[in-house]
Structure 1
């Protein structure tokens, strides 16, 4: 595990300490590493303190990074009865590769 991966794992663990957060974990998109946050069913907004923490560590809302026309910077829909938000790791953005098998 790289230092950056360890830092992101720590951020996910810290996110889970917030009452509004049901789960947080690291995932990969095609070229980026994402910090995914699932909010409790009665929550819809990521706590502002958590957003500030992520931004301090170079993680920004995926909607902002990918220039999506969404109401907020990070919402990605629902997953079960949770609301999912995604944050892009700007420090390693574009460094990952996905492979397509023919």
Structure 2
């Protein structure tokens, strides 16, 4: 496991300790690494969580990909939670794509 991935796994573990966070995990989207937060519906992400994300070079997916949205990380509701995606801008574009050349 890379040092960066280990570092982000620790961030995930720390974020899971918040009462309003139902789950946190790492995922991959084409060439980017994502940190996914499942937050209780109607709950705001605490400022301390946002500070932790910023300090670890994680930015809301909408702001990274240039979408015009006030909710910079919200992807949508999944069951009883709202899913938020954050892009690891430190390694953005450096992950192997799932796309297979023919």
Same fold (TM over 0.5): yes
Residue 34 of structure 1 and its aligned partner are, at CA, apart by 0.3
Greater mean deviation of Cα atoms: 32-41 or 68-77: 68-77
**TM-score, normalising length: structure 2:** 0.91
Give ranges in structure 1 of 5+ residues lacking alignment: none
Aligned-partner Cα distance in 2 for 1:12–1:5: 10
CA deviation vs aligned residue, 1:54-93 (integer Å, no higher than 9, x gap): 1011111111111112222211111111100011101100
Name 1:53's counterpart in structure 2. Answer: 52
Relative to structure 2, which stretch is displaced further, 25-34 or 63-72? 63-72
Count the aligned residue pairs.
101
How far apart are the structure 2 equivalents of 1:98 and 1:81?
31
Is 1:39 matched with 2:39?
yes
Q: In structure 2, how many angstroms separate the alpha carbons of the residues matched to 1:25 and 1:76?
A: 15
Structure 1 residue 42 displacement after superposition: 4.4
Residues 30 and 99 in structure 2, CA contact (< 8 A), matched pair in contact too: no
Structure 2 unaligned spans of 5+: none
In the alignment, the residues of structure 2 paired with residue 25 and residue 14 of structure 1 have an alpha-carbon distance, to the nearest angstrom, of 11
1:68 aligned partner: 67
Contact 2:40–2:81 (CA<8 Å) still a contact in 1?
Answer: yes
Q: In the TM superposition, what are the counterparts of 1:1-102 in structure 2 within 5 Å? A: 1-43=1-43, 45-101=44-100
Instruction: State the TM-score, normalized to the length of structure 1.
Output: 0.91
